[in-house]
Amino acid sequence: MKPTDEQTAAADAFHSGDHLALQAGAGTGKTTTLTLLAHATTTRRGRYLAYNRAIAQDARARFPATVQCKTAHGLAYAAVGHRYTRRLNAPRRPVWQTGQALGITKALRIGDREVTPKALSNATLRTVTRFCHTADDAITHHHVPRMRGLDDTDLHAQLAAHIVPFARKAWADLQHPEDGAVRYDHDHYLKAWALTQPSIQADFLLLDEAQDTNPVVEQVFLAQRDHAQLVMVGDSAQAIYQWRGAKDVMTGFDGTQLTLSQSFRFGPDLAAEANRWLHLADAPIRLTGTPAVPTELGPVTQPDAVLCRTNVGAMAQVMTLMAAGYRVALAGGGGSLQALALAARDLKEGRRTHHPELILFPCWSDLQDYAAYDPAGRDLQPLVNLVDTHGTDAILAAVAQLAPELHAQITVSTAHKAKGREWPRVLIAHDFARAEDNAPDEQTGAETSPDPIDDAEARLAYVAVTRTRQRLDLGGLAWIHLHPDGTPPGWRQSGHDVQ
């Protein structure tokens, strides 16, 4: 296929030797563009850094032999991780045993909560994991995760003061290749490699999905700019993983900034809907649809995929669709939902759970009160409602009945897990819906203004609406058409741009 003008401009910038950040909107052929760049040079050696192993394997079949395709973990394993093979393959051990080996043997009283040794052990290991995702040289208080029920800043500071010494001891334990108390995983050798300030031998580096790069990988990538040409590609508007440490490294990148805005996935009407959300996200790009792709917006009665905002919303959809007789798949599998249901069952039966989200609650009624009355716990209310409505046994039974995607009639997915994927017909689930806009104030009766739309909400919606090829049912996002911020100034319904 003949390159677009934007792809040609990217190739020209690459050949001139510029460091390059390429903003590639949904369905604009970013991998095709990267392979175009790589095939046009036969004398220079390159490295393509993929977001995950599956993408790296696919890239190997598309890139020339002069470009080595790996994940950052793959590079780190070759340099450092192979020395820890024995520990990587070691059997799993309970968290409390690891904590005990580190010296965590007593409960800690903070405020009105008792933090058990198991909860302290869990927080210690999560602290190490969070440290491994950063560019920091040492473990400090800000790596300690917040715990449900200890949301207050002072209470968290008390927890962090107790956890940090144990987390540092855990990190020291992880430096021994042969054996240790802490289970070794892949993020540990990635961080150890980054701390060596490695030099990647290549003439150019291609970083894919740059908007979701962990700071530890960003640090390594940017450190190569004195000897290698840096090219990053991604979509800042799809940066939806900040909550787990990812960072959009594109917008502030010191280099030539170019865009790919012609989407080959969908037509102009869907591009118009995508641009509505791109405007709200203050994104550096607007999309143009392909007229030959007749994507429609309207009701979908037989979707190929239902996209949800949350894991709990996805479970509710699964149960509704199963009750209607459909064979249903859940993108990513049901492991995380099964773990939540088992944790809820423990609490309902009067046992504490080791699930990190619920570990501080002694019983189900305590969690119910926290979700209902504590502002920090409101996001747990859908879980409480789901369990109280259906019961944990029904949820676990539904997880057990999930079908593989190849054999399912409908795939249910969160928007996060749908990123990078596409389906012919997509329905947006109702857990994206907002509370009634312009509802009268309960005390004064005056009409209230709807809440503003924040960037994170707009980015997630953009990802959700751009997963379709043929027809999109806005469903739970239809409220945007009535929101005062939902129609940008100079809006053109033909959808090719926002003025």
What average pLDDT does range 403-407 have in this prediction? 93
What pLDDT does 59 receive?
87
What pLDDT does 249 receive?
76
HSE at residue 410, side-chain half, CA atoms within 13 A, is 25
Cα–Cα distance measured from residue 370 to residue 381, given in angstroms and rounded to the nearest whole number: 9
Amino acid letter for position 469: R
What pLDDT does 138 receive?
97
Computed from CA positions of residues 11, 274, 450, 310, in that sequence, does the dihedral angle turn out positive or negative? negative
Q: Which of 241-255, 319-333, 425-439 has the lowest mean pLDDT?
A: 241-255
What pLDDT does 446 receive?
57
Q: What is the pLDDT of residues 448-479, one digit of tens each?
A: 677 888 888 999 999 999 999 999 999 999 99
What average pLDDT does range 442-446 have in this prediction? 60
What average pLDDT does range 97-120 have in this prediction? 92
Computed from CA positions of residues 406, 410, 413, 417, in that sequence, does the dihedral angle turn out positive or negative? positive
Beta strands in 280-409 (DSSP E): 296-297, 305-308, 328-330
What pLDDT does 227 receive?
95
% the chain with pLDDT above 70: 93
Instruction: State phi, psi for 426 to the nearest 5 degrees.
Output: -125, 140
Asked whether residue 494 carries a pLDDT value surpassing 50, the answer given is: no
Using DSSP, how many helices (H) and how many strands (E) does the chain show?
18, 14
Amino acid letter for position 249: V
Asked whether residue 96 carries a pLDDT value surpassing 90, the answer given is: no
C-alpha separations of 499 from 236, 459, 463 in Å: 20, 20, 22
pLDDT category of residue 110 using cuts at 50, 70 and 90: very high
Cα–Cα distance measured from residue 117 to residue 234, given in angstroms and rounded to the nearest whole number: 42
Asked whether residue 3 carries a pLDDT value surpassing 80, the answer given is: yes
What pLDDT does 496 receive?
40
% the chain with pLDDT above 90: 63
Q: What is the pLDDT of residues 48-76, one digit of tens each?
A: 998 788 888 888 989 999 999 999 999 99
What average pLDDT does range 377-402 have in this prediction? 90
Q: What is the pLDDT of residues 191-216, one digit of tens each?
A: 999 999 999 999 999 998 888 888 99
pLDDT category of residue 492 using cuts at 50, 70 and 90: low
Tokens 């046009």 correspond to what residue? 40
Asked whether residue 6 carries a pLDDT value surpassing 90, the answer given is: yes
Q: What is the pLDDT of residues 164-190, one digit of tens each?
A: 999 999 999 999 998 899 999 999 999
- Kindly report whether the global pTM for this prediction surpasses the value 0.85: no
Both structure tokens of 355: 């699930």
pLDDT category of residue 378 using cuts at 50, 70 and 90: confident
Asked whether residue 422 carries a pLDDT value surpassing 80, the answer given is: yes
pLDDT category of residue 30 using cuts at 50, 70 and 90: confident
What pLDDT does 243 receive?
59
Q: What is the pLDDT of residues 111-154, one digit of tens each?
A: 988 999 988 999 999 999 999 999 999 999 999 999 888 888 99
pLDDT averaged over the chain?
A: 89
What pLDDT does 499 receive?
31
What pLDDT does 435 receive?
65
Q: What is the pLDDT of residues 326-342, one digit of tens each?
A: 999 999 888 888 999 99
Q: Which of 172-186, 315-329, 373-387, 413-427 has the lowest mean pLDDT?
A: 373-387
Q: What is the pLDDT of residues 340-357, one digit of tens each?
A: 999 999 999 999 888 888
Q: Assess contact for 458 and 337: CB atoms under 8 A.
A: no
pLDDT category of residue 242 using cuts at 50, 70 and 90: low
What pLDDT does 497 receive?
40
What pLDDT does 212 receive?
82
pLDDT category of residue 155 using cuts at 50, 70 and 90: very high
What residues form DSSP beta bridges with 329?
A: 411
What average pLDDT does range 401-407 have in this prediction? 93
What residues form DSSP beta bridges with 109?
A: 114
What average pLDDT does range 401-429 have in this prediction? 93
What pLDDT does 495 receive?
43
- Name residues whose C-beta falls within 8 Å of residue 454's C-beta, 6 or more positions apart in sequence: none
Asked whether residue 269 carries a pLDDT value surpassing 80, the answer given is: yes
What pLDDT does 341 receive?
92
- Three-class secondary structure assignment of the chain: CCCCHHHHHHHHHHHCCCCEEEEECCCCCHHHHHHHHHHCCCCCCEEEEECCHHHHHHHHCCCCCCEEEEEHHHHHHHHCHHHHHHHHCCCCCCHHHHHHHHCCCCCEEECCEEECHHHHHHHHHHHHHHHHCCCCCCCCHHHCCCCCCCCCHHHHHHHHHHHHHHHHHHHHHCCCCCCCCCCCCHHHHHHHHHHCCCCCCCCEEEECCHHHECHHHHHHHHCCCCCCEEEEEECHHHCCCHHHCCECCCCCCCCEEEEECECCCCCHHHHHHHHHHHHHCCCCCCCECCCCCCCEECCCCCCCEEEECCHHHHHHHHHHHHHCCCCEEECCCCHHHHHHHHHHHHHHCCCCCCCCCCCCCCCHHHHHHHHHHCHHHHHHHHHHHHHHHHCHHHHHHHHHCCCCHHHCCEEEEEHHHHCCCCEEEEEECHHHCCCCCCCECCCCCCECCCCCCCHHHHHHHHHHHCCEEEEEECHHHHHHHHCCCCCCCCECCCCCCEC
